[in-house]
């Protein structure tokens, strides 16, 4: 019930926030905050699973809820949570609160409707991370899209309509492919077994002819990497990020991009292990190229928000690389990267927003020397820029390092190529620091700073940012709890892949994986012997 309650609270909170605007101007944000805090409390229900992951071995899901929805087509309202879902759900709620606090005073008009959209996006994402019925998953996938569209189109910056439409078309077109793939998968399973169902747990065992499976896998894959985003489907992201209001950018970067990565890990790898193995070199290439290409474009930007947006393309490339390395360490790293990137990039977007709020520009040609006027903001920005370039001791390093160490076992050259992205990350992070914060104070800034008596970060902003910074340090120095929580989900996917490998007896081309599979403890192989 907890899962249902979380989603209902977010939906209901959104409606309430909208209604409350009539009576009380600032009502929306307080209602949002209260509902988010309430969901946080609900999430703590699962704390027993975190501390004792070892003890619960028989059941994959920590908790689930199944209500028949459209029985005729075998569609259930089926929510479930496991370690991966829990991590993603926590990230969603945490970053929801963070975005809310960072933009507490930003919204000037139609506030109620803004917070309605904000909470509904979160609700959609929460649904995506917990839906275990494929049709329900698709439903939530669409639910999170529409309110996000409004956030960009109504409260965005100069070219918001263009960006919103671009965002919508990219996501909508790709999710159509996913719908076809979902229906196709359910249909084939129906033909084979006579049972029409969209239940993930049952479809996991579906026997799909390998050529059809390949196409279905591609349908899911494209939908997910558009969201990720990876080359060559990334071009909606810089526009959407740049034009979205700060809160929207935070949601996009921290949470919405993660749904793509989550989908790959939850659906693509376990549902289509054979096709994934065949497709892995292509996917890893896309990942490695995204890392390099994103970094290069980030370096070339003048708009600070675009820079951070392209850095997301680069960072999410590591996720794709790690997932398709089909290696435990790499996939664990990819999960870690989802979290670390969520935290660091959300904070960077928040900082760009704070800067723009104060100086009315995010064009780096008009900025410069901000440190001398806003030392606190600059110091915090330095921290997150450094996190983003992967400094050891912070979360992003743990993630990138494990991704690369793991990927290296399956493909040396692509991993080495992606590692060059580490240099690229240093380039764009440092050029941003130099152009915005260091150097002499830009003459164009003197006037706005004097006139508006620009204030440094206030207590609310400092507090929120420091909490995120502390989380990054914590993950960087003690990532083990997160590895433990996601371990079972990752292991499940890896086992699927490995059993697929051992059945098919692939040619020695993919020898690193076979070497790897021989190392796995016998128990985990037994689990999957049909």
User: Where does this chain bind other proteins (CB under 8 A)?
Assistant: 166, 231-232, 234-235, 238, 296-297, 299-301, 327-329, 332-333, 369, 371-372, 376, 379, 386, 391-393, 397-398, 401-402, 404-406, 408-409, 412, 415-416, 419-420, 422-423, 426-427, 430-431, 434, 437-440, 462, 477-480, 483, 519
In degrees and rounded to multiples of 5, residue 159 shows phi and psi of: -105, 45
Residue 67 pairs in a beta bridge with 77
Residue 218 has what DSSP assignment?
H
For residue 481, the minimal CB distance to other proteins (Å) is 11
For residue 351, the minimal CB distance to other proteins (Å) is 17
For residue 20, the minimal CB distance to other proteins (Å) is 34
What is the dihedral sign for C-alpha 167, 173, 179, 184? negative
Alpha-carbon gap, residue 204 to 200, rounded angstroms: 6
Nearest Cα neighbor of 410 from 302, 276, 312, 304 is: 276
Residue closer to other proteins by CB (options 216, 386) is 386
Q: Mapping DSSP to helix (H, G, I), strand (E, B) and coil, where does residue 79 land?
A: strand
For residue 282, the minimal CB distance to other proteins (Å) is 17
For residue 426, the minimal CB distance to other proteins (Å) is 5
Residue closer to other proteins by CB (options 208, 404) is 404
Q: For 446-517, where are the E strands, in sequence order?
A: none
3-state SS, one letter per residue, for 238-298:
HHHHHHCCHHHHHHHHHHHHHHHHHHHHHHHHHHCHHHHHHHHHHHHHHHHHHHHHHHHHH
Residue 63 pairs in a beta bridge with 81
Residue closer to other proteins by CB (options 68, 393) is 393
Residue closer to other proteins by CB (options 66, 443) is 443
Nearest Cα neighbor of 513 from 417, 402, 401, 411 is: 411
Residue closer to other proteins by CB (options 412, 460) is 412
Residue closer to other proteins by CB (options 204, 477) is 477
Residue 359 has what DSSP assignment?
H
Residue closer to other proteins by CB (options 254, 313) is 313
For residue 453, the minimal CB distance to other proteins (Å) is 17
For residue 392, the minimal CB distance to other proteins (Å) is 4
Q: Which two tokens stand for residue 333?
A: 């790293």
């Amino acid at each position: 019930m907890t899962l249902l309650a979380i989603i209902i609270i977010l939906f209901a909170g959104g409606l309430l926030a909208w209604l409350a605007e009539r009576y009380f101007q600032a009502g929306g944000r307080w209602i949002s905050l209260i509902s988010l805090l309430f969901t946080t409390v609900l999430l703590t229900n699962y704390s027993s699973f975190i501390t004792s992951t070892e003890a619960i071995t028989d059941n994959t899901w920590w908790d689930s809820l199944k209500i028949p929805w459209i029985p005729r087509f075998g569609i259930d309202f089926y929510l479930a949570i496991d370690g991966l879902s829990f991590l993603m759900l926590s990230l969603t709620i945490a970053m929801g609160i963070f975005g809310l606090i960072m933009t507490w005073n930003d919204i000037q008009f139609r506030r109620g409707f803004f917070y309605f959209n904000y909470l509904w996006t979160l609700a959609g994402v929460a649904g995506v991370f917990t839906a275990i019925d494929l049709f329900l998953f698709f439903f939530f996938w669409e639910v999170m899209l529409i309110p996000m569209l409004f956030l960009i189109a109504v409260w965005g910056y100069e070219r918001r309509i263009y960006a919103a439409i671009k965002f919508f078309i990219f996501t909508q077109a790709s999710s159509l492919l996913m719908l076809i793939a979902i229906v196709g998968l359910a249909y084939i399973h129906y033909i084979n077994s006579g049972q029409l169902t969209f239940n993930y747990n049952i479809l996991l065992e579906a026997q799909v002819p390998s050529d059809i499976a390949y196409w279905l896998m591609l349908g899911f894959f494209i939908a997910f990497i558009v969201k990720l985003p990876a080359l060559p489907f990334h071009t909606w992201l810089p526009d959407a990020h740049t034009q979205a209001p700060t809160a929207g950018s935070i949601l996009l970067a921290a949470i919405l991009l993660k749904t793509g990565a989550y989908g790959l890990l939850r659906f693509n790898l376990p549902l289509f292990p054979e096709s994934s193995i065949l497709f892995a070199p292509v996917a890893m290439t896309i990942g490695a190229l995204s890392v390099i290409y994103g970094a290069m474009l980030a370096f070339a930007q003048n708009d600070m928000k675009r820079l951070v947006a392209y850095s997301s393309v680069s960072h999410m490339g590591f996720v794709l690389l790690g997932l398709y390395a089909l290696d435990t360490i790499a996939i664990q790293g990819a999960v870690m990267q989802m979290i670390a990137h969520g935290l660091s990039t959300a904070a960077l977007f928040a900082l760009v927003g704070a800067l723009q709020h104060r100086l009315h520009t995010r064009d780096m040609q008009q900025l410069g020397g901000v440190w001398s006027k806003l030392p606190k903001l600059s110091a915090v920005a330095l921290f997150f820029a450094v996190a983003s370039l992967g400094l050891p001791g912070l979360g992003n390093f743990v993630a990138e390092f494990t991704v690369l160490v793991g990927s290296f076992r399956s493909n040396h050259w692509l991993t080495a190529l992606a590692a060059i992205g580490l240099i690229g990350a240093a380039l764009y992070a440092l050029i941003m620091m130099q152009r915005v914060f260091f150097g002499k104070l830009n003459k164009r800034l003197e006037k706005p700073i004097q006139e508006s008596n620009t204030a440094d970060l206030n207590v609310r902003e400092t507090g929120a940012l420091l909490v995120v910074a502390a989380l990054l340090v914590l993950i960087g120095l003690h990532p083990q709890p997160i590895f433990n929580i996601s371990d079972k989900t990752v292991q499940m996917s890896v086992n699927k892949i490995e059993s697929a490998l051992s059945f098919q007896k692939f040619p020695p081309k993919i020898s690193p994986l076979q070497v790897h599979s021989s190392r796995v403890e016998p128990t985990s192989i037994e689990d999957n012997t049909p």
